[in-house]
């Protein structure tokens, strides 16, 4: 009898030892773990020597690719950065290590947020079968201020080097992919996560297709108003400016280099309606336009309210759009966008050389040799004299009236001018966007009954 009782006691002891060993090795109930993911309310998620490294456990994600269609993009303003959260659940029973295997851009960082257990208990987070329902959790987090409040309680783990946070069974949270890329246009940003053991085969690829846009863009960037003349004294054009990243913005529009006798007037911006914005989206491949304005521009043959006339010949004006803040007291200089208005003014004076198109081409020449050309200008007006307007004329252009001119034939007066560029005075193409080369023109002014300014643009290229 005693022998059988002893055998039973030994058998029970063996069972107890086995059960205790199983609990310690597989359920992590008696090991003192290492802190990895911590909530600010002192509840901690802890690493354990028993964290599952070899099983086939993996996280369940609500969505791994944003936007879901894999074609459209998250709109992101240049230099502003952005982020995307990937909601996950660990539906396994055993602790699970996770880590960052790789990412495709140094501009990104990865953070792990774990929801407090108490919040999960107090919210409807499971379906009728008792399984974690990520859709319900997403709906709960989407309510006003819920997620922002939770983030104040959670200390996230940044996955940059060898961090290996451990998630206990039933853990729920999100992995945040955040970025600050300055590469304009479409960017596909990715982060590859391993689960269980690095290189063990259980991985998830998180993707965000991001379209980096300027805060402000203008359409068109150049507008031609054709010909102004005494018969066509006024032309109107319009520019539109948009933002696909801001629902509203204040801005100014101004001439980059206004002239004292300016005949181009910028009108008051008009907000675009939602219907107009939706219609204009078609021009930009369907990219959302959140806000926009139409800016009217009027070009006149004469200076409004005055007697001065617009200079004859081809013209080009540059205008700039800049977003402002603090009631237009401050400029967001990085949002500056330039646009251009071009056209031609015809009137009492004509450039005779048809191939010049109202401008003088010096062609391509050797910088060390310089270049020289001649040009004729004609008018039907009697009693008119022309003289060079030196203060307006570009410094590297040496302009002289050819000896023996002007000449009067059949009621028309014609002037011939010699235009010379001295050796080594210019280099490269002109005009170009540089203060010294930008205008590249010589100016004449008429004396007599019809006071007038005549601008003759000069173009060419000086090679070494």
Helical spans, DSSP H, in 226-378: 274-280
96-107 b/e with 16+ CB inside 10 Å = b?
A: bbbbbeebeeee
Q: 307 pLDDT band (50/70/90 cuts)? A: low
Number of CB atoms found within 10 A of residue 109's CB: 18
pLDDT tens column, 260-278? 777 899 999 999 999 999 9
Identify the pLDDT of residue 136: 94
Contact 348, 381 (CB under 8 A): yes
Question: H/E/C letters for each residue in 222-242?
Answer: EEEEEEECCCCCEEEEEEEEE
The helix (H) or strand (E) run that includes residue 179 is strand 172-179
Q: 54 pLDDT band (50/70/90 cuts)? A: very low
CA 369 vs CA 7, 373, 423: distances in Å? 116, 13, 5
In eight-state DSSP terms, residue 279 is H
- Per-residue pLDDT at 99 exceeds 80: yes
Q: 238: Cβ–Cβ under 8 A, 6 or more apart, which residues?
A: 223, 294, 295, 296, 297
Provide the whole-model pTM.
Answer: 0.67
- What average pLDDT does the structure give for the chain? 85
- Domains of the chain plus CATH, in order, are 29-213 (2.60.40.10), 231-345 (2.60.40), 349-463 (2.60.40.10)
């Amino acid at each position: 009898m005693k022998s059988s009782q002893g055998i039973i006691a030994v058998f029970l002891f063996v069972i107890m030892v086995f059960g205790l060993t199983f609990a310690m090795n597989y359920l992590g109930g008696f090991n003192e773990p290492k802190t990895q993911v911590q909530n600010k309310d002192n509840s901690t998620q802890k690493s354990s020597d028993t964290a599952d490294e070899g099983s086939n456990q993996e996280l369940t994600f609500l969505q791994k690719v944003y936007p879901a269609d894999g074609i459209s993009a998250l709109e992101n303003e240049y230099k502003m950065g952005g982020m995307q959260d990937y909601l996950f659940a660990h539906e396994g029973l055993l602790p699970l290590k996770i880590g960052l295997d790789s990412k495709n851009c140094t501009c990104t960082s990865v953070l792990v947020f774990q929801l407090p257990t108490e919040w999960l208990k107090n919210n409807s987070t499971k379906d009728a079968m008792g399984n974690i329902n990520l859709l319900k959790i997403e709906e709960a987090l989407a309510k006003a201020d819920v997620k922002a409040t939770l983030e104040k309680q959670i200390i996230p783990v940044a996955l940059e080097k060898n961090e290996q946070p451990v998630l206990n069974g039933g853990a729920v949270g999100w992995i945040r992919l955040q970025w600050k890329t300055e590469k304009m246009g479409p960017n596909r940003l990715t982060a590859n996560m391993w689960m269980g053991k690095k290189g063990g085969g259980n991985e998830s690829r998180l993707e965000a297709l991001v379209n980096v846009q300027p805060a402000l863009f203008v359409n068109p960037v150049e507008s031609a108003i054709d010909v102004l003349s005494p018969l066509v004294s006024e032309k109107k054009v319009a520019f539109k400016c948009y933002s696909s990243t801001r629902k509203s913005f204040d801005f100014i529009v101004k001439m980059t280099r206004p002239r004292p006798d300016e005949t181009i007037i910028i009108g008051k911006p008009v907000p675009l309606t939602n219907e107009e914005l939706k219609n204009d989206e078609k021009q930009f491949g369907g990219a959302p336009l959140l806000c926009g304005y139409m800016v009217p521009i009027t070009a006149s043959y004469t200076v409004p309210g005055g007697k001065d006339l617009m200079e004859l010949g081809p013209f080009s004006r540059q205008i700039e759009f800049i977003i402002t803040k603090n009631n237009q007291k401050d400029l967001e200089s990085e949002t500056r966008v330039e646009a251009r208005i071009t056209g031609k003014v015809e009137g009492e004076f004509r450039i005779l050389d048809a191939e010049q198109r109202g401008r003088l081409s010096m062609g391509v020449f050797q910088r060390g040799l310089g270049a020289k050309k001649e040009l004729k200008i004609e008018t039907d007006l009697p009693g008119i004299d022309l003289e060079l307007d030196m203060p307006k004329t570009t410094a590297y252009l040496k302009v002289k009236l050819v000896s023996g001119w002007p000449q009067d034939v059949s009621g028309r007066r014609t002037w011939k001018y010699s235009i010379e560029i001295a050796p080594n005075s210019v280099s490269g193409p002109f005009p170009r966007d540089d203060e010294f080369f930008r205008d590249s023109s010589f100016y004449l002014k008429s004396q007599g009954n019809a006071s007038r300014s005549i601008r003759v643009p000069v173009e060419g290229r000086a090679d070494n």
